[in-house]
Structure 1
Amino acid sequence: MRCSTCNGDLEARALFCGYCGRRTRIRRDSAIGTLIDDTYRIDEKIAEGGFGAIYRATHLASNSTLALKVLHADFANDIQLAARFLRESKALARLRNPHTVITYERGEARDGTLYIAMELLRGESLLQRFRRLGPLPWQEVLAIMRAVSSSLHEAHALGIVHRDLKPANIHLDGGVK
């Protein structure tokens, strides 16, 4: 989520922006607490993009926590966008690099909701680390870029293009994803 004033990254439950200090507008997401296919319970919104939202969710059978990417309902009836979402999820499921987010499952719920169940990442994005620490030592940058390059190499070999590679989408959790 982003601050409406400075466009800084916001934590899902933040009351104030950590960059400009402005009070955030808390909006209750109607998806919180709902079940997807009687399999996943949506617990908290993590991020939102143009085509969908990513939630922290619980897999009910195993009681494990994961990330659930859900296509916005506005786009569910758009055949081309829905097909693109499903193609993306199928492609992601083929990736096995240790620096790539794990895709567990993809599907369409009975109500037509399209979703991708993925590994929930802990830690911070590269953008957050830049903002927190400033310039990083070259050795750390090199290690990060090697991991990112390794992940992208596998994706490109399978014909997958990332299309949104930026520091906010590089995740550091002790490793790089």
Structure 2
Amino acid sequence: MPRRALEWSDPSRPPTPRDDHTGRVLADRYRLEGVLAQTTTSTIYRAHDSRGSAPVAVKLLHPEIHVDPARVERFKREAKFLANLRHTHLADFIDTDSTPEGLLYIVTALIDGRPLVEWCSGDARLDAETVCRIGVQVAEGLAYMHRAGVLHRDVKASNII
């Protein structure tokens, strides 16, 4: 499987090298198969769920974030909100827990595909019909979240698959 480019929230600050937890099994269930993306707060892994047949995505909060109670609380709120959201244009929530050493993680369905940013890079161009279709899907997903009282704080092309 090809690896996706690393991403991070602040383009002026490159990501710090992280421990790669590939191969680790969380909760005797989720085997981390490889890094999909890395942000300033977490690493997202492709994983195998031993209880299901479809691959999943595991978002593992970086250890240094755990010392910031506000960021930990934000991550826990994210998990709580995701657990209550079901929509065609959102990744389905599966689980949330912490590792024995206290690292928090969220498990969602894996949305296989390329981020929108890759579709729009270089000389690549999307036709007007495709742009409208994607725009409507993004708007429907965001409208659903807003009706549920959730404000997505990181809408960008690299977060749209």
Q: TM (normalized to structure 1)?
A: 0.76
Is the counterpart of residue 51 in structure 1 residue 50 in structure 2?
no
| Distance 1:28-1:146 versus aligned 2 partners, 3 A rule | closer
For the pair shown, the structure with the greater C-alpha radius of gyration is 1
Aligned mate of 1:36, from 26, 33, 52: 26
- Corresponding pairs, count: 149
Stretch moving more, 77-86 or 144-153: 77-86
**Amino acid in the other structure paired with 1:31:** H
Q: Does 1:153 align with 2:143?
A: yes
Q: Secondary structure at the match of 2:120?
A: helix
Where structure 1 has 5 or more consecutive residues not aligned to the other structure, the ranges are 1-10, 15-26, 172-177
Q: How much has 1:110 moved relative to structure 2?
A: 2.6
1:154 and 1:111 mapped to 2: Cα distance? 35
Long gaps (5+) in structure 2:
6-16
Q: Distance in 2 between matches of 1:30 and 1:151?
A: 32
Q: Does 1:143 align with 2:141?
A: no
Give the superposition deviation at 1:13.
7.4
Quick one: which of 141, 165, 171 aligns to 2:155? 165
Rounded Cα–Cα distance in structure 2 between residues aligned with 1:157 and 1:61: 32
**Corresponding letter in the other structure for 1:147:** Q
What TM-score does the superposition give when structure 2 sets the normalisation length?
Answer: 0.83
Give per-residue Cα distances to partners, 1:9-51, cap 9 Å, x unaligned: xx5278xxxxxxxxxxxx8943111121222111101100011
Identity of aligned residues (%): 32
